Chain A
Amino acid sequence: MIFREVEDRDLIAKARRGDVEAYNLLVSRWEKRVFNYLLRLVSNRPGSREDALDLCQETFLKAYQNLPKLEDPARFSGWLFRIAHNEAFSLLRRKRPEIPDGETPLEAQASAESPGRLFPLELSLAVDGALKRLSDDQREAVLLKVYQGFKFDEMAEILDCPVSTVKSRLYAALDTLKLVLSPVMVRGGQ
Chain B
Amino acid sequence: MSCKSYDWKAYALGELDGPARSQADVHAAACADCREELAAVRMTLNALSTLRDEEIPRRIAFVSDKVFEPRWWQKFWNPNFAAACVIAGAILVHAFARPAENSARVQAEIDAAVNKAVAEVEARRAEQTERILSRYDERFTAMYKTTAGLVRQ
Residues of chain A touching chain B, judged by Cβ–Cβ distance below 8 Å, are 18, 20, 23-24, 27-28, 31-33, 35-36, 39, 49, 53, 56-57, 60-61, 64, 120, 123-124, 126-128, 131, 142, 145-147, 151-152, 167, 170-171, 174, 177-178, 181-182, 184-185, 190
Contact = CB atoms under 8 A, between A and B. Distances in A.
Contact of B48 (A35, A36, A146): A146
Nearest to B56: A35
A39 B54 contact: yes
Nearest to B69: A18
Contacts of B69: 18
A124 B50 contact: yes
A147 B50 CA distance: 11
9 contacts: A31-B56, A32-B53, A32-B55, A127-B47, A127-B51, A146-B13, A174-B9, A177-B44, A184-B47
B122 to A, nearest CB: 75
Contacts of B44: 174, 177-178, 181-182, 185
B52 A35 contact: no
B50 to A, nearest CB: 4
Chain B facing A: main interface SS: loop
Contacts of B56: 31-32, 35, 53, 56
B57 interface: yes
Q: Which 7 A-B pairs have the closest CB atoms?
A: A124-B50, A35-B56, A20-B64, A178-B44, A36-B53, A127-B51, A124-B51
B57 A49 contact: yes
Given A31-B60, A177-B48, 18 more contacts: A23-B62, A32-B55, A36-B53, A53-B57, A53-B58, A56-B56, A61-B62, A120-B50, A124-B52, A127-B47, A127-B48, A171-B9, A178-B40, A178-B43, A181-B44, A182-B40, A182-B43, A185-B47
Contacts of B60: 27, 31, 56-57, 60
Interface of B: 9-10, 13, 15, 40-41, 43-64, 69
B75 to A, nearest CB: 9
Chain A facing B: main interface SS: helix
Nearest to B53: A36
A167 to B, nearest CB: 8
Contacts of A32: 53, 55-56
B42 to A, nearest CB: 10
A131 B48 CA distance: 9
Nearest to B58: A53
B47 A20 contact: no
A20 B62 contact: yes
Contact of A151 (B15, B50, B63, B64): B15
A151 B57 CA distance: 29
Contacts of A178: 40-41, 43-44
A67 to B, nearest CB: 12
A24 B61 contact: yes
A57 to B, nearest CB: 6
A126 B75 CA distance: 55
B43 A185 contact: yes
Contacts of B55: 32
A49 B57 CA distance: 9
